[in-house]
């Protein structure tokens, strides 16, 4: 290995670089929430190119640390030199160091390479309370502080570095921050995460005149969540990245803090672990659906199918009265068979429903299907000569619904269920409207059937089914939403085919 580093050969100012090259020197958290894993996500989420030299391996998850292994420091040296021999490092973030030997190794490398931006997160104890730095290494860590541009201790770490009790209010924390900043000659980021209250302030503190004033506070609302695993790691890595672009700590914190707050606010969607879960680094890349947006998209997707339905001989014949009785009877018989299957599928939606209101709605829908089925037999099919065997379209449509119900996804099942409500309600309203407009003649052969279409209860149930599907889409993952679209599209095709089946199979 050569002893000259890339940055001593090319000491180009890296400030303003569009994609900062940021190195994390930190421990590994295999559960992905803290350490180098969090740093790499944080650097990428903030527009940087992330690199990582591993100081220590931990065995941990969201509930705590079960083991720490610090490999020989010679190998850390090899990692660091492999990077700086080849790559210009715009910023360094330092996290868990583990023991004195590691601290000394990092110090040697920093003194040789002198990266333009150094952020040091003095990791000592994990959120879970487990030690990540040997007690004997605390003095060594203090000697590393002056080599950093920004130090980001949490309140327990700030107190330990000063040898004082932990601050229990913001004013005391800022006071401690000032003393540490004066002692080290650099900037301290005092973090309010460990204090109670609805606000969660952070402050940059520097007593040498680097900032516009000694204390620059950036406030933000506190997010009510347990998912705070790796917030400190994520913040310091993001600050290192933003600082390369801005060259201004205040501008960097103004940019990073709202990002981290949103990462905390949306952390629930990750569903990682049973303890203090990780934050959602890439929340800004997700398209957040607004209420009604997904339903509107489904309706646009259904439009060609709806046009196809209005063009069918069956619908035209039902409206004009020219529909052969044999085809109408076939349709009614298939409808009764379909409703029996649909009832089972709605019951399954009730079983998967996340709320009692939804459970009740689908259970009621399931019961009503059976009531309509028996009414069809009693009032409409009695006296008609209709085929009682399940037709091919009925079979395929019900099988499709049963497959969706077996998928186990409530959202996908609802997407499969919805066209039967929505398209049927739409077509029914259209046919009824046209019937009334034409004079609502009782002479019309299908007058009773067309009059039954104007059912306000069914229209209300349809609106409710649309809302539940829309809400389920908002809670679903992108992959699940794609499956929803597919399930919905197939049901729309089956709706069309169902209206066309009498012509082909009666």
Ligand X SMILES: Nc1ncnc2c1ncn2[C@@H]1O[C@H](COP(=O)(O)OP(=O)(O)O)[C@@H](O)[C@H]1O
Residue ranges that bind ligand MP5, judged by CB under 6 A: 26-29, 34-35, 58, 95-96, 123, 126-127, 132, 229-233
Residue 194 or 284 with smaller CB distance to ligand X: 194
Residue 24 contact among ligand MP5, ligand X, none, beta carbon within 5 to 8 Å by kind: none
Which one of the spans 107-115, 130-138, 216-224, 480-488 is the region binding ligand X (CB under 6 A)?
Answer: 216-224
409 vs 415: CA distance, rounded Å: 10
Distances (CA, A) of 285 to 249, 457, 463: 25, 41, 31
Per DSSP, the three-state class of 361 is helix
Residue 125: which of 232, 260, 238, 235 has the closest Cα?
232
Residue 267 interface partner, choices ligand MP5, ligand X, none, CB cut-off 5-8 Å depending on type: none
Q: Do 77 and 102 form a contact (C-beta atoms < 8 A)?
A: no
The single-letter DSSP state of residue 307 is H
SS3 118: strand
Tell me how far, at minimum, the Cβ of 65 lies from ligand MP5, in Å.
Answer: 7
User: Nearest 5°: CA angle at 482, between 340 and 291?
Assistant: 85
Contact residue for ligand X among 68, 223, 238, 497 (CB under 6 A): 223
Give the nearest distance from C-beta 463 to ligand MP5 in angstroms.
Answer: 45
Q: Which of 52, 37, 181, 66 is nearest to 126 (CA)?
A: 66
Do residues 272 and 62 make contact, with C-beta atoms less than 8 angstroms apart? yes
Shortest distance in whole angstroms from residue 288 CB to ligand X: 19
The CA dihedral of 110, 111, 112, 114, to the nearest 10 degrees, is: 60
From the list ligand X, ligand MP5, none, partner contacted by residue 264 (C-beta under 5 to 8 A by kind): ligand X
In the sheet that holds 215-218, the strands lie side by side as 64-69, 49-61, 21-28, 91-94, 117-120, 150-151, 187-191, 202-205, 215-218
Q: Which tokens hold the place of 493?
A: 């095709």
Phi, psi angle pair for 59, to nearest 5°: -110, 115
From ligand X, ligand MP5, none, which one binds at residue 229 (CB under 5 to 8 Å depending on kind)? ligand MP5
Rounded distance, CA 81 to CA 462, Å? 65
Closest to ligand X by CB, 115 vs 192, is 192
Q: Which of residues 58-97 bind ligand X (CB under 6 A)?
A: none
Min dist CB 223 to ligand X, Å, is 4
Contact residue for ligand X among 37, 61, 79, 154 (CB under 6 A) = 154
Supply the minimum distance, in Å, between the C-beta of residue 192 and ligand X: 5
Q: Is the dihedral of CA 422, 427, 429, 430 positive or negative?
A: positive
Residue closer to ligand MP5 (CB basis): 137 or 417? 137
Cβ-based nearer residue to ligand X, 229 or 245: 229
Stretch binding ligand X (CB under 6 A), from 7-15, 230-238, 321-329, 352-360: 230-238
Q: Which does 346 bind (CB under 5 to 8 A by kind): ligand X, ligand MP5, none?
A: none
User: Minimal CA–CA distance to 146: which of 134, 160, 161, 159?
Assistant: 161
Nearer to ligand X, 129 or 439 (CB): 129
Which tokens in the block code for residue 273?
């672990």
Based on CB atoms, which residue is closest to ligand MP5, 35 or 341? 35
Asked if residue 227 binds ligand X (CB under 6 A), the reply is: no
Smallest gap, in angstroms, from Cβ of residue 228 to ligand MP5? 6
Number of residues near ligand X (by CB under 6 A) = 18
Q: At what angle do helices 356-375 and 456-475 cross, to 10 degrees?
A: 140
Query: Between 261 and 407, whose beta carbon lies closer to ligand X?
Result: 261
E strand or H helix at 216, and its extent?
A: strand 215-218
The 3-class SS string of 362-373 reads HHHHHHHHHHHH
Site map 247..286 versus ligand X, x via CB under 6 A: ----------x--xx--x----------------------
Does 115 interact with ligand X (rule: CB under 6 A)?
Answer: no
CB atoms closer than 10 angstroms to residue 497: 19
Q: Which does 352 bind (CB under 5 to 8 A by kind): ligand MP5, ligand X, none?
A: none
Binding segment (CB under 6 A) for ligand X, from list 61-69, 94-102, 203-211, 221-229: 221-229
**Residue 419 binding target from ligand MP5, ligand X, none, CB below 5 to 8 Å by type:** none
Residue at shortest CB range from ligand MP5: 35
Q: Which is nearer to ligand MP5, 207 or 228 (CB)?
A: 228
d(CA 419, CA 422): 5
Rounded Cα distance, 189 and 203, in Å: 6
Chain centroid to CA 115: how far?
35
Q: Which of 29, 202, 327, 358 binds ligand X (CB under 6 A)?
A: 202
Shortest CB 260 distance to ligand X, Å: 5
Residues numbered 180-199 forming contacts with ligand X, rule: CB under 6 A: 191-194
Distance CA 502, CA 474 (A): 38
Element (H, E) at 60: strand 49-61
- CB of residue 56 to ligand MP5, shortest distance in Å: 7
Binding site partner of 35, from ligand MP5, ligand X, none, Cβ cut-off 5-8 A by kind: ligand MP5
Applying CB under 6 A, the residues found at the interface with ligand X are 154, 191-194, 200, 202, 220, 222-223, 228, 231-232, 235, 257, 260-261, 264
């Amino acid at each position: 290995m050569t002893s000259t580093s890339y940055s001593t050969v090319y000491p180009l100012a890296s400030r303003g670089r569009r994609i900062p090259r940021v190195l994390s020197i930190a421990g590994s958290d295999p559960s992905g929430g803290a350490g180098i894993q969090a740093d790499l996500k944080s650097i990428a989420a903030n527009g940087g190119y992330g690199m990582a030299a591993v100081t220590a391996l931990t065995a941990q998850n969201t509930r705590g640390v079960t083991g720490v292994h610090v490999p020989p420091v010679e190998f850390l040296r090899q990692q660091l030199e492999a990077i700086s021999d080849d790559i210009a490092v715009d910023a360094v973030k330092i996290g868990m160091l583990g023991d004195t030997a590691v601290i000394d190794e990092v110090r040697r490398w920093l003194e040789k390479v002198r990266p333009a931006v150094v952020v040091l997160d003095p990791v000592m104890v994990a959120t879970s309370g487990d030690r990540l730095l040997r007690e004997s290494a605390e003095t060594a860590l203090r000697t590393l502080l002056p080599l950093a541009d920004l130090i980001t201790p949490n309140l327990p770490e700030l107190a330990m570095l000063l040898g004082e009790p932990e601050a229990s209010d913001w004013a005391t924390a800022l006071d401690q921050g000032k003393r540490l900043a004066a002692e080290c000659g650099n900037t301290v980021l005092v973090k309010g995460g460990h204090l109670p209250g609805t606000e969660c302030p952070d402050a940059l503190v520097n007593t040498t005149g680097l900032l516009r004033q000694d204390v620059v506070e950036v406030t933000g609302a506190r997010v009510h969540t347990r998912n705070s695993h790796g917030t400190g790691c994520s913040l310091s890595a993001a600050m290192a990245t933003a600082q390369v672009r801005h060259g201004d700590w205040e501008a960097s914190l103004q940019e990073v803090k709202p990002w981290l707050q949103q990462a905390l606010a949306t952390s629930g969607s990750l569903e990682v672990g049973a303890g203090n879960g990780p934050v959602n680094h890439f929340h800004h890349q997700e398209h957040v659906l607004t209420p009604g947006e997904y339903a509107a998209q489904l309706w646009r997707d259904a439009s060609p199918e709806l046009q196809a339905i209005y063009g069918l001989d069956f619908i035209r014949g039902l409206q004009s009265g020219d529909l052969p009785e044999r085809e109408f009877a076939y349709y009614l018989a298939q409808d009764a068979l379909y409703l029996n299957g649909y009832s089972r599928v709605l019951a399954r939606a009730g079983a998967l429903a996340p709320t009692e209101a939804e459970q009740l709605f689908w259970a009621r829908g399931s019961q009503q299907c059976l009531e309509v089925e028996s009414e069809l037999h009693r009032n409409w099919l009695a006296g008609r000569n209709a085929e009682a065997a399940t037709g091919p379209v009925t079979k395929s449509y019900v099988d499709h619904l049963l497959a969706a119900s077996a998928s186990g996804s409530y959202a996908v099942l609802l997407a499969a269920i919805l066209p039967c409500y929505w398209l049927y309600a739409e077509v029914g309203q259209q046919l009824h409207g046209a019937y009334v407009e034409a004079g609502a003649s009782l002479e019309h052969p299908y007058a009773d059937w067309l009059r039954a279409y104007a059912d306000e209860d069914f229209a209300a149930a349809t609106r409710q089914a649309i809302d539940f599907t829309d809400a389920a889409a908002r809670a679903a993952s992108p992959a699940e939403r794609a499956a929803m679209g597919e399930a919905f599209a197939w049901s729309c095709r089956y709706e069309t085919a169902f209206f066309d089946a009498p012509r082909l199979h009666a």
